Structure 1
Amino acid sequence: MEKDWVNIFTTNQAYLAEIIKDMLADNDIQAVIINKQDSAYITIGDIDIYVKAGNVIKAKYLINKLKN
């Protein structure tokens, strides 16, 4: 990843990563999902969500709001 992208969320559930990415897009925040899960054993590995450094605070706020 380029230097101006920051990992803001990690999960092992692909559906949750997609929900968060869509929620961020709805709030005009570009997000990228990096799936590090093993294709044979999907329970091994993580899925990371990255946003631009300037959007970190807003993105984390929205994720916390979604979780609560």
Structure 2
Amino acid sequence: MNPNWTKVKVFTNPLQAEIVKQMLVENNIPAVVLNKQDSSYHFGLVELYVDNEHTLEATALMDSFNDEELLSNED
């Protein structure tokens, strides 16, 4: 991975990683998901990276939500 990116969170669920990534992107924080899971058996980790300049902002934004709120479909 490029040294200008920092790993901010690790997931086991790729969908959850994509939801968090989208939340960051919608808040103008560049984010990338690196899926290291085995494609056949779906074990392994999914890593979320953000640009070094936005690490603190991304961490604060993720901390302001809990995982249930990020995955909830209720209005």
**TM interval, short-chain normalised:** over 0.9
Task: Give the aligned length.
Answer: 67
Which residue matches 1:29? 29
Q: Could you tell me the TM-score, scaled by structure 1's length?
A: 0.92
**Residue identity in the other structure for 2:45:** D
Runs of 4+ in 1 over 3 A off after TM superposition: none
Q: Does 1:9 align with 2:5?
A: no
Larger radius of gyration: 2
The equivalent of 1:55 in structure 2 is: 54
Q: What is the CA distance between 1:66 and its match in structure 2? A: 1.6
TM-score (structure 2 length as normaliser)? 0.84
Work out the CA distance in 1 between the residues paired with 2:38 and 2:5. Answer: 23
Compute the RMSD of aligned alpha carbons: 1.1
